[in-house]
Amino acid sequence: MSFESLEKAEEFKTQIRGMIALLEHIVGTFSPDIKNQSDHPIRVLVDNAGSMERVDMITDQHTDYRIEIDHLFNKHYFKTDSWNQVSSFLSDRVFDTVKHGIFSRTTFNRIYRNNHKRKIKDYKKNKKEHEDREIQRIIQELRRYFKARAKRKKDEKKAIQATRKRHKEMLAQAKRRRIENKKREKRNKKVGSKSS
């Protein structure tokens, strides 16, 4: 096929591209390998498929520029470079997403676990301090109780001793009185017998 000028060739190429764009929905549904298309889903025409790593658009002057028909859900599609690029890109994205999810989950779990351990440690410390305070309070109460009991017993003992002492004194005094009374009676008898 020869053209008069480069502009005519470009015009022809643009026209063919436009026709392909109009027909891609229909043409894309057919596979050149399969005669009966009734059991296959809709095919998609992949135009200008490039690398996922590039940021610039692939133009028709680019080495990777191509026009081809990919057949979705067809065993041949899964052997193409496009599928390899898409699957590797998706695998990387899924791996990154899962990795990020696992990392964030493990980080949060570690934070929660450390907080829980700290709370348990604080609880045990506060519980031990409370038990120590309660033990000290009970010891102080017992000391006060036994001190008061000892003082009460001491006072009772003193009171009993004082009572015994008074009782002895009273007995001694009564004995002295009896003795004095006997002496007086004897004297009175002697005085009475002398006077008669």
Window from 75-79, 96-100, 127-131, 153-157 with minimum mean pLDDT:
75-79
Give every CB contact of residue 66 below 8 A, 6+ residues apart in sequence.
48, 49
- Residue 68 has a pLDDT of 55
Q: What are phi and psi of 18, to 5 degrees?
A: -65, -40
Per-residue pLDDT reduced to its tens digit, 123-154: 999 999 999 999 999 999 999 999 999 999 99
What local confidence, expressed as pLDDT, does residue 39 receive? 45
Q: Per the structure block, which two tokens stand in for 89?
A: 């890109």
For the chain, give every domain's residue range: 6-79, 81-196
pTM: 0.36
- With 0-12 CB in 10 A as exposed, 13-18 as middle and 19+ as buried, what is 20? middle
